[in-house]
Structure 1
Amino acid sequence: MNQQDRQAPVAYSPGVMDDLKALPTNQHRNLAIFLIRDLIRGRERGEELRDRSGMDLQDCRRVYFGTAEELRLRGASWRIVYQELTAPDNRRTVIHIVAIGPRAGMVVYETAAQRLGRLPTPDLSRTHGRSHAAQLRSTIAPAQGASPDGGWRQAGSPVPSRRAPDPPRRRRGR
């Protein structure tokens, strides 16, 4: 039995076929299918993933693909995220395709994390300062004659004049 005859079993997460259908062209779909075939046959092995923006994908791997034009212009912009799992008989490796999609905006990694039930927890330390400041209220009393909204105006409304109001006119005595 030669190396090409050995094939690892393959499993697909629900939604992977929809990922394939959502690829922009038939050329992209064919590239993804050929790449999966190479993974199953052991000709290709992807790069290990690390923690990606709070998404635990450390037991996953990724392979890149793209059309020749995409590769020439900006590099591979599409990914297949998969796992190499041990079969219950402990003799074989099962290739589990988790997600196929664009790298842009971390879409494919978020999809993979969601399908594996590993959504990231929000990093509150980055936004805590801003949200805390937004919740604060001014402790300074408004100046006399200030508008009831504290001087804030809606976008697009005219800027109030900075000129002091005219003093009331007195009538001269008769």
Structure 2
Amino acid sequence: MALDMLTFIRDGRVQGQPLGQHVKTGDLSDCYKFYFDPNGVGKPRYRLVYRYTPNEVEAVAVEAVAVGERSGLDVYLTAAERLGRQSEA
């Protein structure tokens, strides 16, 4: 389903919320978060962190950085690690 969400984002049918730089998660200011759930009922249980490459203005692709359950900060921490931007805290 995350791949479907990336297609919807690429096509402009849905849009995520911009992330920033935070002490606990590191610098994800070029990334966005999008919540989704395969069940489509109730509060979405999953989080997708993505970014436009090479950047938002000159985007030629949408890149999934991390996907996982919405609870906690694990997806953000995984995204920061994959991008080499772990927090110093």
Q: CA deviation at 1:37?
A: 1.5
One-letter amino acid of the structure 2 residue matched with residue 67 of structure 1: P
Decide which of 16, 37, 42 is 1:66's aligned counterpart. 37
Instruction: Report the CA distance shift for 1:59/1:91 in structure 2 as closer, same or farther (over 3 A).
Output: closer
On the 8 A contact 2:25/2:80 being kept in 1, the answer is: no
Q: 1:50 aligns with which of 10, 17, 20?
A: 20
- What TM-score does the superposition give when structure 2 sets the normalisation length? 0.80
C-alpha separation in 1, matches of 2:50 and 2:79: 9
Q: 1:129 maps to what in 2?
A: none
Provide the aligned C-alpha RMSD in A: 2.1
Question: Which of structures 1 and 2 has the bigger CA Rg?
Answer: 1
Aligned length: 87
Q: Which has the higher helix share?
A: 1
TM-score by length of 1: 0.44
Give the corresponding residue for 1:37.
7
> Do the aligned residues in 1 keep the contact of 2:33 with 2:47 (CA within 8 Å)?
yes
User: For the residues of structure 2 that align with 1:92 and 1:57, how far apart are their CA atoms?
Assistant: 17
Whichever residue aligns with residue 4 of structure 2, its letter is F
Report the structure, 1 or 2, having the larger strand content: 2
C-alpha distance in 1 between matches for 2:66 and 2:46: 11
In structure 1, what residue type is equivalent to 2:3? I
- Name the CA shift for 1:38/1:54 in 2 (closer, same or farther; >3 Å): closer
Q: Percent identity?
A: 32
2:67 counterpart (79, 97, 100)? 100
Q: Unmatched 5+ residue regions in structure 2?
A: none
Which one has more relative contact order, counting CA pairs under 8 Å at least 6 apart?
2
